[in-house]
Amino acid sequence: MIQTDNVYRDISLRFPSQIIIGKNSLNKLADEVIAGEYSNVLIITINVLLTKLNPLIQQLNERGITVHINTAIVQEPSFFDFETLLNSVINKPVDAVVGIGGGSVLDIAKLLAAQINNDQSLKDITGIGLLKKRNIKLICVPTTAGTGSEVSPNAILIDDADNQKKGIISPYLVPDVVIIDPVLTYNLPPDITAATGLDALTHCLEAYTNLFAHPFIDMYALEGIRLIANNLIKVIRNGSDENARTQLAIGSMLGGFCLGPVNTAGVHALSYPLGSMFHLAHGLSNALLLPYIMEFNIPTAPDRYAQVARTLGCNSGKTDMDTAYAGVAMIRELIEQCNIPSTLSAAGIKKEAIPAIAADAMKITRLLRNNPRPINLSDAINIYEAAY
């Protein structure tokens, strides 16, 4: 039962010191670096953004600031990818790390800022609250409206030893400065816009319906649901709709605030193996499972799912259950309008793989325990089969 009237558990949040939101706010990044008197900046980004970053790099160089650029991260990173990257930069005198990209790029930038000059190994810090400090300035600039990594204390890597996605979760991974520039998302292809937007929506939805939901986080979760539901289709139809792109980016950031103190639940737990075993995009994996896990959870928390439905724009039905199921129908419609695969089979997953996928999902206990209704192995198999 979700806590609604009882005494709430304590939560602790760390926010970025500064969040800059606005069209062309990337232009303010150089001011931040110059004001901080940093002399060696490491930028983690992707190749396609380099042209857009030229003015920034030029501005920094003109002030005598050395800029190192690394574009090695091209997919969801593993422990090995991170260690390789860390070894390539560890001898550089970096005093500020800037991540400009999607969730994988930002996660890696966050971890680099923590691990350059840290005597703790990656293994030492994997888990919750194990990282002891971060000495290097960290600036994050998301270029997708999805992961919320720009404000979250989480970084996710695939462990090469067992192919599991593992979290490094620490308040020291929250960046110092976040720049939300909607212009950077204008050229994002519709399928990536859809998948990342649905990921952000799932962060908010899983936080609001979480077994450990908290009223302070509910505020971010509900507003995030509203902003994403109202703007996702608009930006898929018109990628350069400035107003909608800005609202979507803010919704995604609100989803990021949900990730620290409450976090996600069954959808993310069951979607992780689809990413680690089949390299399905994270947002798409979530979207494939979201309606089915909502249906599974509704009997346990009809009031919460009814509020989700109203926030999505549904009218209240006769009962919370009716309203909640109308919310599932609206989510299905939203996913359909996103024009992405809507079943596991359409996403290329083989049916005979389901038992292995379900067994793998059972290992994601840190998220499964957040789900309002317990999910066991046979539940998971049923959910994957329904989503097939």
Q: How far is the CB of 61 from Fe ion (least distance, A)?
A: 36
CB closer to Fe ion, 25 vs 143? 143
d(CA 359, CA 146): 27
Q: For residue 150, state whether it binds Fe ion (rule: CB under 5 A).
A: no
Q: How far is the CB of 271 from Fe ion (least distance, A)?
A: 8
Q: For residue 76, state whether it binds Fe ion (rule: CB under 5 A).
A: no
CB closer to Fe ion, 56 vs 357? 357
Q: What is the 3-state secondary structure (H, E, C) of 112-123?
A: HHHHCCCCCCHH
Number of residues that bind Fe ion (CB under 5 A): 1
CB closer to Fe ion, 272 vs 305? 272
d(CA 111, CA 155): 7
Query: What does DSSP assign to residue 32?
Result: H
Q: How far is the CB of 224 from Fe ion (least distance, A)?
A: 12
Which residues have CB under 8 Å from 160's CB, separation 6+? 78, 79, 80
Query: What does DSSP assign to residue 22?
Result: S
**Contact by Cβ (8 Å): 247, 24:** no
Q: Which residues of 224-246 are buried (b: 16+ CB within 10 A; e: fewer)?
A: bbbbbbbbbbebbeebebeebbb
Q: How far is the CB of 203 from Fe ion (least distance, A)?
A: 6
Q: Which stretch binds Fe ion (CB under 5 A): 80-88, 104-112, 197-205, 304-312?
A: 197-205
CB closer to Fe ion, 45 vs 202? 202
d(CA 351, CA 388): 7
Q: How far is the CB of 258 from Fe ion (least distance, A)?
A: 10
Q: For residue 379, state whether it binds Fe ion (rule: CB under 5 A).
A: no
CB closer to Fe ion, 60 vs 287? 287
Q: For residue 107, state whether it binds Fe ion (rule: CB under 5 A).
A: no
Q: Which stretch binds Fe ion (CB under 5 A): 41-49, 111-119, 161-169, 198-206?
A: 198-206
**Contact by Cβ (8 Å): 212, 352:** no
Q: Which stretch binds Fe ion (CB under 5 A): 29-37, 115-123, 164-172, 191-199?
A: 191-199
CB closer to Fe ion, 110 vs 137? 110
Q: How far is the CB of 67 from Fe ion (least distance, A)?
A: 30
Element (H, E) at 202: helix 190-208
Beta-bridged to residue 178, according to DSSP, are 19, 140
**Contact by Cβ (8 Å): 172, 165:** no
Position closest to Fe ion via CB: 199
CB closer to Fe ion, 306 vs 347? 347
d(CA 262, CA 218): 10
Q: For residue 199, state whether it binds Fe ion (rule: CB under 5 A).
A: yes
Q: How far is the CB of 193 from Fe ion (least distance, A)?
A: 15
Residue 256 structure tokens: 């990021």
Q: For residue 81, state whether it binds Fe ion (rule: CB under 5 A).
A: no
Residue 75: strand, helix, or coil: coil
d(CA 273, CA 363): 10
Q: How far is the CB of 361 from Fe ion (least distance, A)?
A: 15
CB closer to Fe ion, 43 vs 157? 157
Q: How far is the CB of 310 from Fe ion (least distance, A)?
A: 23
Torsion of CA 53, 81, 340, 101, to 10 degrees: -20
CB closer to Fe ion, 213 vs 259? 259
Output phi, psi for 340, to 5 deg.
Answer: -115, 165
Give contact residues for Fe ion (rule: CB under 5 A). 199
